[in-house]
């Protein structure tokens, strides 16, 4: 260790200082929390109380109040002041103001000196307070939502809850709190709301609302004055741990709640979790078995129904919760399947009763959200070192003045200088006077750091926020919601974004699935795209025929399905198929049509609900994909009429009767299987065959097809490629007929596998695979996960702007890839690199290293710490996981160049792999290196906390500007972690908006927010600040040169009033004009040419280099401004009376010249001269002339000034009229020549575009500069998603007269679509080494959920009870007019002929 090494303690302190965050001082750190026991209908043990009878701190739970705002009444003043004094300039201003309170340094009244600082602090505080009040109002909207809480019946909640926080909105006075008898608790809420409270929001279990003022009469019980147990609507923030709550259908969950009972027969509840994990499919949850009898308010309030719940401490793991319910001698485990988490929404369930386990900050979703950060823009952060430089210059200037004054006095005092008489006392000597001169110099030159800069910037940013608000092109036409800036100080950051992190569900997509296209028997149907809206219900069929479930007269649109599927050609083919003769040319296709839609209508777990009023059917599905598929089948006449235990009912166009099928088995979908199958038996007197109906990924279906039919397979594969090419989610459908004896043998093997104690999952999968062979191909479907308007075009343009887009979603991998295709994030010729976690396959570190070695061999990161890992471990694992090609069952579609497509690379990584990749610095370095070299990154199956960690990884690792955008509570942590957070007002609530810096209505508005408003704001603010520093250095330079001639005494060169108003009137308007009205180029050009955004990304407008250039300009210009005027006036007097000039006479000339130069220089740096800019440049000059004329004319009778009568000498002097034009011309000449040379000989893209717009304002520049070859004409598919724009040259400097010289054509443009290659989009799974072609497969449903387990259990029980009985005879029925076997199509006039071998 050398003698110059830094002590470790110092290094630790410096690291802590660097990592210090202001918000940590005001964040309430509750720690990890403790294990908790929640007592219901029984008192808490005495160990929960201290010696004084007060509850111990660890047993006091937080309230359900969630606050996303920064300030409270108490913390506002100290926190806001600390935030403002992070600006070095404010500390300096406060020091100067305090200094002038001492008489030795006073210039004017100390109160007037500190007034500007107080105004700056006050205006900023008011702005910050206003922003935060808006956040409090949004919080209030959430916290004041209402939920039914158990009240009455003698029920009390013995658990302790802390007091709620006071906010700006809540006010000072809090509500009275009930107290526990015999226990003194100042800040603890216990007990139950008193019966004396009069509240009309009361419900009985029957759902009857009590009329106003009459609820006590209805709720009285017996002869005692005891209020009967009931449900009372209570504010969310008043919900407490241990409360019973009742949630009804479509209501949001207010806290983390243990399910006691539900309205469903099996005590199952369905919840929508897209607000937590981004998945649109419903999840099933079940009640705790030991609490299933608590189905009414009376049951819950019964003292005999006492129990307690032992819970783990609150944590961030969204996928795990461990607890135990103890009721009497029974103890039952509780996991996440029995809990409803805050942020989810109850669906398809009438009601749920539960017990609150965690509230507020202890809930899973809030645990995954951080505290509201105090964000500062990059420009503001970069201003601090520039202020430091100016302060250093100021200190040097003051030091020089102080030393020079000391030296002069020390030399002249012995010589008897009369003005130094008595300069030898302790309080008056050269040393003391030198120090006083040093301090006074700080005051004289203090304008080198202008206090008006910050208030000007705040005002300009506020106006820029208003410009965004009043931009009508960013207003949602449907809702009328404008774009709102919730944080005014980040507008310039919008112009420097390098990485965007986006949620998927609700942000990029509309949370709706639409059946778009299908391929049936080798024939493709594209669907009709009528613009007119669909009717509310489609009338299909009108027969009832005595079915136990009332047949619907129509089918409503399912939730999440925006419109009905229509296709005229398909309808005609179905009509022809109904009357097709056996053996005719149309018979085969008729069987395919019938089989295709029968699979759609039967292979699912959808519930059919009949509206009791209209009789219409509405489908309730866990998966939005299944809802779209079943809805499409119904739209084509294949109506699924519901399930009666294990009997499925289907009405088809081929039969006037309801066909009935017995559901025997469900071979459920998993991500590994990539398929779902059902085994059904048709219950028909003429046909009782067994069928296996399957839907899944093309890769797994094709390899299980029966040999033959190559022509159909090839046609279907081509259609799948076409579907995937337009970003649609695909499924392949197939079936087989199962002989009875084969099924019985298979069923025995399946039962053995199900009850196996060893490797049950593997055995069940093997048995599944046995039966799912020798399938017959039917066709494929294409579903659109409907995107928000303009999403593909917006993403394409943002990519052209050089912004890298990372998508972080809770959806599974296939869904994420499908969205990547449809949103333009994954191009047709992109290479997809998949990194998977888990216990199987390669370790994540090996996958990352291998991906870097295979695809980016020149990466520097491999040359450092990871060379051993990339050579030894990887090579050892090559054998078991060698790269192989994946066959689809027809032919190999992957060429030798797989993984080397010209479209670049997109990384897809799942949550398990991401967790390992973020575990230590080495893995982070690998992930960051791989991710930054890819064109885009998609993170799937990620938790809200992982989203924030990914943002921080890029933000801190690359020191780049990041933006996060989302619409749900699961996006809050990501939004807060990014430099700029954007919330979308979506269907998932306002949580994201409440925590965001900007709120928009649709994703497409992000384009204009960044490319126009962001770019404008950054260019304006950067140029304004640089010009601010410049104009002040000009003034300070003139004062500095004067010190040479005034004995370095820190005296003012001109009247102090001119200096006082320098930043207030003379030179303030031009810089404000730049900040408010300057335009680097017009908005339509910025929108048409996203490539121009690179000027912002590269920080063109505000750098240290440009700062130094402007400062140098100011110093250079101050030389002629001072010396030309000084020597002009000092040569020969200009007065007619022969007297020498006075100081104020020639110094006022300097003021006029300096102010005029500063204003005109700002004008030279303005790009667009409008009337506003013109007025701003010259108004300061006009004010200066008017003020001087008036100020010099004020007689001593009004008040005494040093310049009275100066007009008589100033304006009559020839030197005044000579010096003004001469000094102004000489000072501005260098900048003028530079600008002329730049525009004439080295113009950039912006200069060219401005010139074209000025000379030819009628020209459509965007259209003129496109490069698409006009001689080519090709047919464009009407269904193909068009590219956002045509290709253009990377630099407009290469375009002369609108004719491009760079002809790099984008062949994927809208008018010239690139032909689809079946080998499009290579996909490499690094965990297994499999390389395959992506054909858009995606299917979302809950895997291994409670509902599926219940169905499987019921089917197994029925099989066990019937396994020794003969097959049930079909019920006798009236002879049908026609009947239809499932996979054969005959005319209605003739009865079907059974064919067992088909």
* 26, burial (CB in 10 Å: exposed 0-12, middle 13-18, buried 19+): middle
Which runs of E-coded beta strand occur in 956-1082?
962-966, 980-984, 998-1000
* Cα gap 963→499, rounded to integer Å: 6
User: Looking only at Cα atoms, what is the longest distance across the chain?
Assistant: 137
* Cα gap 958→956, rounded to integer Å: 6
Helix, strand, or coil here: 354?
strand
Catalytic, 503? Answer yes
* Cα gap 791→793, rounded to integer Å: 6
* 1271, burial (CB in 10 Å: exposed 0-12, middle 13-18, buried 19+): exposed
Q: Which of 238, 362, 493, 503 is catalytic?
A: 503
129, two tokens? 């307070």
* Cα gap 1080→1066, rounded to integer Å: 25
Helix, strand, or coil here: 389?
helix
What sign results for the dihedral spanned by CA atoms 1288, 1294, 1296, 1297? Answer: positive
Q: What's the distance, CA 63 to chain centroid?
A: 27
Closest C-alpha among 1112, 981, 1107 to residue 384: 1107
794, two tokens? 């917006």
Q: Rounded to a whole number, what is the distance in angstroms from the first to the last CA of the chain?
A: 86
Please name the residues in contact with 1030: beta carbons below 8 A apart, sequence gap of 6 or more. 1110, 1111, 1113, 1114, 1158, 1161
**Alpha helices in 936-990, H assignment, sequence order:** 944-958, 972-977
Which runs of E-coded beta strand occur in 668-723?
675-682, 690-696
Closest C-alpha among 937, 929, 916 to residue 849: 929
Residue 700: Cβ within 10 Å count: 19
The b/e string for 1066-1075 (b: 16+ C-beta within 10 A; e otherwise) is: bbbbbbbbbb
Element (H, E) at 929: helix 921-933
* 1026, burial (CB in 10 Å: exposed 0-12, middle 13-18, buried 19+): buried
DSSP symbol at 783: E
Element (H, E) at 1239: helix 1214-1241
* Cα gap 165→147, rounded to integer Å: 20
The b/e string for 1326-1359 (b: 16+ C-beta within 10 A; e otherwise) is: bbbbbbbbbbbbbbbbbeebbbbbbbeeebeeee
DSSP symbol at 1066: I
What sign results for the dihedral spanned by CA atoms 821, 825, 831, 833? Answer: negative
Distances (CA, A) of 5 to 2, 9, 784: 6, 12, 62
* Cα gap 997→422, rounded to integer Å: 63
Element (H, E) at 12: helix 8-19
Please name the residues in contact with 728: beta carbons below 8 A apart, sequence gap of 6 or more. 516, 517, 782, 783, 784, 818, 822, 1336
Do 808 and 508 touch, CB atoms closer than 8 A? no
Please name the residues in contact with 540: beta carbons below 8 A apart, sequence gap of 6 or more. 554, 555, 634, 637, 639, 651
Known catalytic residues are 503
């Amino acid at each position: 260790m050398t003698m110059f090494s830094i002590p470790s303690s110092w290094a630790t302190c410096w690291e802590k200082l660097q990592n210090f965050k202001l918000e940590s001082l005001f964040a309430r750190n509750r720690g990890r929390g403790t294990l908790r026991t929640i007592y219901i209908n029984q008192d808490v043990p005495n160990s929960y109380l201290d010696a004084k009878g007060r509850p111990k701190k660890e047993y006091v739970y937080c309230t359900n109040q969630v606050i996303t705002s920064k300030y409270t009444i108490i913390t506002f003043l100290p926190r806001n002041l600390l935030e403002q004094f992070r600006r070095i300039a404010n500390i300096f201003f406060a020091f100067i103001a305090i200094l002038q309170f001492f008489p030795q340094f006073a210039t004017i009244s100390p109160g007037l000196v500190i007034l500007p600082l107080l105004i700056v602090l006050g205006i900023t505080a008011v702005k910050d307070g206003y922003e935060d009040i808006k956040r409090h109002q949004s919080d209030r909207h959430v916290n004041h939502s209402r939920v039914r809480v158990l009240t009455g019946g003698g029920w009390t909640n013995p658990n302790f809850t802390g007091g709620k926080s006071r906010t700006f909105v809540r006010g000072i006075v809090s509500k009275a709190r009930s107290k526990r008898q015999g226990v003194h608790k100042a800040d603890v809420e216990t007990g139950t709301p008193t019966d004396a409270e009069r509240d009309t929001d009361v419900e009985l279990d029957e759902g009857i609302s009590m009329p106003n003022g009459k609820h006590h009469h209805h709720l009285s019980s017996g002869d005692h004055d005891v209020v009967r147990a009931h449900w009372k609507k209570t504010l969310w923030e008043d919900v407490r741990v241990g409360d019973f709550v009742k949630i009804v259908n479509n209501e949001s969950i207010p806290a983390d709640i243990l399910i006691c009972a539900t309205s469903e027969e099996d005590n199952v509840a369905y919840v929508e979790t897209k607000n937590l994990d981004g998945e649109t499919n419903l999840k099933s949850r079940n009640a705790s078995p030991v609490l299933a009898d608590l189905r009414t308010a009376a049951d819950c309030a019964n003292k005999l129904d006492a129990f307690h719940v032992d819970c783990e401490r609150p944590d961030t793991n969204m996928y795990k919760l461990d607890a135990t319910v103890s009721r009497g001698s029974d103890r039952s485990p509780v996991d996440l399947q029995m809990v409803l988490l805050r942020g989810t929404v109850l669906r398809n369930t009438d009601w749920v009763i539960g017990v609150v386990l965690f509230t507020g900050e202890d809930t899973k979703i809030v645990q995954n959200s951080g505290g509201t950060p105090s964000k500062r823009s990059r420009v503001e952060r970069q201003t601090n070192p520039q202020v430091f430089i100016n302060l250093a210059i100021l200190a040097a200037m003051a030091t020089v003045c102080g030393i020079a004054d000391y030296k002069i006095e020390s030399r002249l005092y012995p010589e008897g200088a009369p003005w130094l008489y008595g300069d030898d006392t302790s309080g008056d000597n050269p040393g003391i006077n030198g120090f006083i001169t040093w301090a006074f110099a700080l005051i004289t030159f203090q304008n080198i750091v202008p206090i008006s800069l910050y208030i000007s910037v705040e005002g300009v940013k506020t106006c820029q926020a208003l410009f965004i608000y009043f931009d009508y092109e960013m207003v949602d036409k449907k809702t009328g919601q404008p774009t709102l800036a919730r944080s005014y100080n980040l507008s310039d950051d919008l112009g420097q974004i390098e990485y965007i992190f986006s949620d998927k569900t609700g942000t990029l997509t509309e949370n709706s699935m639409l059946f778009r296209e299908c391929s049936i028997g080798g024939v493709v149907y594209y669907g009709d795209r009528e613009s007119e809206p669909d009717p509310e219900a489609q009338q299909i069929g009108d027969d009832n025929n005595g079915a136990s479930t009332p047949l619907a007269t129509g089918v409503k649109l399912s939730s999440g399905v925006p419109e009905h599927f229509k296709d005229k050609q398909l309808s005609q083919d179905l009509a022809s198929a109904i009357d097709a003769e056996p053996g005719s040319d149309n018979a085969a296709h008729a069987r395919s049509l019938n089989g295709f839609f029968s699979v759609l209508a039967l292979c699912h777990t959808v519930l059919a609900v009949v509206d009791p009023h209209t009789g219409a059917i509405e489908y309730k599905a866990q998966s939005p994909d299944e809802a779209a598929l079943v809805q499409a089948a119904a739209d084509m006449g294949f109506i699924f009429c519901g399930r009666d235990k294990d009997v499925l009912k289907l009405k088809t166009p081929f039969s006037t009767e309801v066909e009935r099928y017995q559901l025997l088995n469900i071979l459920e979908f998993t991500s590994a299987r990539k398929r779902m199958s059902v085994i059904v038996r048709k219950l028909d007197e003429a046909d009782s065959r067994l069928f296996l109906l399957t839907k899944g990924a093309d890769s797994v279906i094709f390899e299980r097809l029966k040999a033959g039919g190559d022509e159909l397979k090839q046609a279907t594969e081509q259609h799948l490629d076409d579907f995937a090419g337009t970003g649609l989610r695909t499924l392949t459908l197939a079936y087989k007929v199962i002989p009875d004896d084969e099924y019985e043998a298979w069923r025995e093997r399946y039962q053995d596998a199900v009850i196996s104690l060893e490797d049950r999952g593997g055995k069940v999968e093997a048995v599944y695979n046995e039966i799912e062979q020798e399938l017959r191909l039917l066709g494929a479907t294409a579903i659109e996960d409907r995107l928000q308007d303009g999403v593909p075009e917006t993403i394409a343009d943002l990519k052209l702007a050089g912004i890298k887009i990372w998508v972080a979603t809770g959806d599974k991998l296939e869904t994420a890839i499908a969205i990547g295709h449809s949103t333009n994030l994954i191009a047709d010729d992109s290479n997809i690199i998949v990194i998977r976690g888990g216990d199987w396959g390669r370790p994540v570190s090996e996958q990352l290293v291998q991906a870097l070695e295979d695809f980016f061999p020149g990466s520097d990161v491999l040359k450092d710490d990871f060379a051993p890992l990339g050579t030894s471990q990887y090579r050892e694992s090559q054998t078991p996981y060698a790269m192989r090609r994946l066959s689809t069952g027809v032919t190999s579609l992957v060429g030798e160049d797989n993984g080397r497509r010209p479209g670049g690379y997109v990384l897809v990584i799942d949550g398990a792999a991401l967790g390992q990749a973020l575990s230590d610095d080495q893995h982070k370095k690998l992930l960051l290196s791989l991710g930054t070299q890819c064109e885009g990154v998609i993170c799937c199956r990620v938790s809200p906390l992982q989203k924030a960690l990914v943002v921080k990884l890029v933000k801190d690792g690359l020191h780049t500007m990041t933006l996060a955008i989302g619409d749900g509570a699961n996006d809050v942590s990501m939004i807060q972690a990014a430099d700029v957070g954007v919330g979308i007002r979506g269907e998932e609530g306002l949580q994201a908006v409440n925590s965001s810096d900007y709120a928009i209505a649709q994703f497409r508005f992000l384009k204009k927010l960044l490319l126009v408003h962001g770019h404008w704001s950054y260019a304006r603010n950067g140029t304004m600040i640089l010009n601010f520093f410049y104009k002040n250095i000009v003034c300070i330079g003139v004062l500095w040169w004067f010190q040479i001639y005034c004995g370095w005494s820190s005296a003012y060169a001109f009247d102090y009033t001119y200096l006082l108003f320098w930043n207030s009137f003379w030179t303030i308007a031009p810089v404000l004009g730049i900040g408010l009205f300057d335009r680097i180029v017009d908005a339509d050009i910025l929108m048409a040419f996203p490539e121009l955004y690179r000027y912002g990304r590269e920080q063109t407008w505000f750098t240290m280099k440009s700062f130094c250039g402007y400062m140098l300009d100011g110093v250079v210009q101050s030389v002629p401004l001072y010396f030309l005027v000084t020597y002009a006036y000092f040569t020969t007097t200009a007065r007619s009376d022969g007297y020498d000039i006075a100081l104020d006479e020639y110094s006022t000339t300097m003021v006029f010249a300096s102010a005029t130069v500063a204003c005109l220089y700002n004008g030279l740096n303005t790009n667009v001269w409008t009337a506003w800019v013109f007025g701003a440049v010259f108004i300061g000059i006009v004010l200066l002339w008017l003020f001087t004329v008036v100020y010099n004319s004020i007689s001593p009778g009004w008040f005494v000034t040093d310049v009275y009568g100066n007009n008589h000498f100033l304006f009559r002097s020839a030197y005044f009229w000579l010096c003004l034009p001469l000094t102004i011309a000489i000072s501005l000449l260098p900048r003028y020549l530079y600008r002329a040379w730049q525009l004439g000989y080295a113009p950039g893209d912006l200069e060219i575009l401005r010139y074209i717009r000025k000379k030819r304002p009628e020209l459509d520049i965007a259209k003129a500069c496109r490069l698409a070859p006009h001689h080519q004409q090709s047919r464009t598919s009407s269904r193909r998603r068009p590219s956002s724009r045509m290709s253009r040259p990377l630099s407009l400097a290469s375009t002369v007269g609108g004719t491009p010289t760079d002809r790099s054509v984008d062949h994927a443009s809208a008018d010239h679509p690139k032909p689809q290659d079946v080998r499009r989009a290579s996909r490499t799974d690094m965990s297994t080494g499999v390389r395959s072609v992506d054909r858009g497969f995606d299917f979302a449903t809950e895997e291994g959920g409670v509902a599926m387990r219940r169905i499987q259990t019921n089917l197994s029980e029925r099989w066990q009870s019937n396994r020794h009985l003969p097959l049930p005879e079909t019920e006798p029925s009236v002879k049908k007019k026609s009947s239809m076997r499932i996979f054969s199509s005959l005319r209605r006039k003739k009865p079907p002929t059974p064919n067992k071998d088909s």
